[in-house]
């Protein structure tokens, strides 16, 4: 599903350059749930951004679902992001003047769907995250956990092949974190491929595979026994 080969990325800082990713090799199969771990500066966010087509690698191969991702124009990248990827952010990134329903419907808007169809689909996904009753509420009227659920519903709305989560529980308390994780696990059970960046061990252990990065290289890549989050809820 996802193939990365010898991925390099460096950032220019003044006159010198910072080599952030130093040859990453990573294969992710469909239905996997992978946690990317590492201390800050290890390159885990950069890797996620490249996979999310928000950033481009300097060299190396990146193939998503048989499709080589290379030399994308902004427009093409936007279309691919819309079609293949769902994003979940640490700070939710909901648009604060739009209701929950409108937020969820946004990727569908950019897909060019008709208004009615968008509303229906968005409502369905809001229902899935258990927030159908909160459809008309603005983000500021929702709790952190609810906001993240709306964000997840939004990520799912366009029915992406791959769900990318950047510290999805980073801004939540433990109980809410497990709540969200239980939900993400459930999505994975249904067959969604999920890739998440985290620095919390307990969250990582709720995935099926942990990839550890240090100084731009993969230190460790192991399958783990998934800890189910439901038991803590």
Partner 1 sequence: MFKFLFDRDTWQEVFDSFSKNKLRSILTMVGVWWGILLLIGLLGSARGLENSFNRLFGSFATNSVFVWGQSTSKPFKGFQEGRQVSLSLTDAKKVEENVEGIEFLVPRNQNQASVVRNFLSGNFGINGDYPLLDQVQKKKLIHGRFINQNDINDNKKVVVISEDAYKQLFEKDEMPIGEYIEINKINFKVIGMFENGNVNMGPTSDMHIPFTTFQQIYNQGDQIGWMMITGKPEYDIKQIEEDAKLLLKNLNKIHPKDKRAFGSFNLGKEFDKVTGFLIGMQFLTWFVGIATLIAGVFAIGNILLITVKERTKEIGVRRALGATPFEIKRQIVVEAVFLTIVAGLFGIITGGWILIGLDAAFGQGDDATIVNASVSIGVVFIALVILVILGTLIGLIPAFKATSVKPIEALREE
* Residues of this chain that bind partner 1 (CB under 8 A): 49, 52, 54-55, 74-75, 78-79, 81-83, 87, 89, 93, 95-98, 102, 106-107, 109-111, 115, 154, 158
| Distances, alpha carbon 53 to alpha carbons 75, 163, 165, 227, 228, in Å | 11, 13, 14, 30, 30
The rounded distance, in Å, linking the Cα atoms of 87 and 156 is 9
First to last CA, the chain: 32
Shortest distance in whole angstroms from residue 130 CB to partner 1: 22
Backbone phi, psi, residue 142, to 5°: -110, 155
Q: Whose Cβ is closer to partner 1: residue 157's or residue 210's?
A: 157
Q: Whose Cβ is closer to partner 1: residue 107's or residue 216's?
A: 107
Q: Whose Cβ is closer to partner 1: residue 2's or residue 158's?
A: 158
The rounded distance, in Å, linking the Cα atoms of 38 and 3 is 20
Shortest distance in whole angstroms from residue 178 CB to partner 1: 26
Shortest distance in whole angstroms from residue 52 CB to partner 1: 7
Of 227, 220, 194, 212, which is closest to residue 37 (Cα–Cα)?
212
Q: Whose Cβ is closer to partner 1: residue 105's or residue 180's?
A: 105
Shortest distance in whole angstroms from residue 85 CB to partner 1: 8
Shortest distance in whole angstroms from residue 151 CB to partner 1: 10
Q: Whose Cβ is closer to partner 1: residue 78's or residue 224's?
A: 78
The rounded distance, in Å, linking the Cα atoms of 123 and 219 is 42
């Amino acid at each position: 599903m996802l193939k990365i080969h010898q991925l390099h990325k460096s950032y220019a800082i003044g006159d010198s350059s910072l080599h952030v990713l130093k040859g990453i090799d990573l294969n992710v199969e469909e239905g996997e749930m992978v946690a990317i771990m590492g201390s800050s500066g290890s390159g885990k966010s950069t890797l996620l951004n490249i996979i999310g087509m928000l950033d481009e690698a300097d060299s190396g191969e990146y193939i998503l679902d048989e499709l080589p991702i290379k030399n994308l124009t902004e427009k093409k990248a936007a279309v691919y992001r819309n079609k293949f990827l769902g994003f979940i952010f640490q700070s939710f990134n909901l648009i604060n003047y739009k209701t929950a329903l409108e937020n969820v419907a946004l990727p569908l808007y950019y897909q060019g769907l008709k208004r009615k169809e968008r509303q229906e689909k968005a409502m369905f996904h809001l229902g899935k995250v258990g927030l159908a009753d909160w459809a008309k509420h603005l983000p500021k009227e929702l709790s952190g956990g609810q906001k993240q659920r709306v964000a997840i519903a939004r990520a799912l709305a366009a029915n992406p092949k791959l769900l990318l989560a950047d510290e999805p529980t980073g801004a939540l308390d433990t109980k809410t974190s497990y709540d969200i994780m239980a939900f993400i696990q459930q999505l994975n059970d249904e067959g969604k491929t999920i890739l998440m960046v985290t620095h919390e061990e307990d969250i990582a252990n709720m995935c099926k595979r942990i990839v550890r990065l240090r100084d731009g290289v993969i230190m460790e890549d192991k399958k783990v026994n998934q800890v189910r989050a439901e038991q803590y809820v």
